[in-house]
């Protein structure tokens, strides 16, 4: 792996951490995962850095959280996170970023294709891992967990839109990426 890739991996891990400083919208205490800007970092890592670098960036981020750095939004961190309701979503991040990177590809893509790719990786895949996890941790029936997560879809769609605009802007400013 070349030096530039290592720097990009570190950058997108740091970007996701920095997005955690945006105040989260938490509407049910620790019972439910808060709405945070951090999943935007996952989407950008996949769409901009690509499958391999984006996935590794998120793996690095999850590792930093696991060793106890308070990098998750709201200053959360440590191994305890994975025992919580939002643990599955965090664990899903490397996979989500890799899926987004793989779907987006390197070629010039239309905004719609980009949006669909980011939505599949950043919403569908994330929920597919996070919701069953939450159902187990919170002792909820799966259908109820799905219902709860519907509340997050509008916020996630806004994040997809931002990710599409930022990705296209960067591709224009940085064609070599």
The residues that touch another protein, with contacts defined as CB under 8 A, are: 1-4, 6-11, 13-15, 17-18, 21, 23-24, 26-31, 44, 48, 60-61, 63-64, 66-71, 74-80, 82-84, 162, 165-166, 169-170, 173-174, 177
CB of 13 vs another protein, minimal distance in Å: 4
Both tokens of 106, joined, read: 């390197």
Question: Would you say 18 or 151 has its CB closer to another protein?
Answer: 18
Cβ pair 96, 121 in contact under 8 A: yes
CB of 34 vs another protein, minimal distance in Å: 9
Place of tokens 């224009």: 172
Question: Would you say 25 or 142 has its CB closer to another protein?
Answer: 25
Q: Which three-class secondary structure string do you get for 104-147? A: HCCCCCCHHHHHHHHHHHHHHHHHHHHHHHHHHHCCCCHHHHHH
Question: Would you say 2 or 106 has its CB closer to another protein?
Answer: 2
Question: Would you say 61 or 127 has its CB closer to another protein?
Answer: 61
Torsion sign, CA atoms 89, 121, 47, 44: negative
């Amino acid at each position: 792996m070349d030096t530039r890739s290592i720097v990009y991996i570190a950058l997108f891990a740091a970007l996701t951490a920095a997005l955690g400083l945006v105040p989260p919208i938490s509407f049910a205490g620790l019972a439910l995962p808060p709405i945070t800007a951090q999943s935007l970092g996952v989407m950008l890592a996949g769409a901009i850095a690509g499958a391999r670098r984006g996935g590794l960036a998120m793996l690095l981020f999850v590792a930093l959280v696991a060793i106890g750095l308070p990098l998750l939004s709201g200053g959360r961190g440590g191994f305890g996170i994975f025992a919580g309701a939002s643990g599955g979503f965090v664990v899903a991040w490397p996979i989500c970023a890799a899926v987004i990177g793989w779907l987006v590809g390197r070629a010039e893509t239309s905004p719609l294709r980009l949006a669909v790719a980011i939505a599949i990786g950043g919403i569908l895949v994330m929920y597919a891992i996070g919701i069953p996890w939450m159902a187990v941790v919170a002792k909820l029936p799966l259908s109820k967990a799905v219902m709860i997560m519907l509340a997050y879809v509008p916020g996630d769609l806004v994040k997809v839109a931002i990710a599409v605009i930022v990705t296209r802007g960067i591709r224009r400013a940085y064609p070599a990426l």
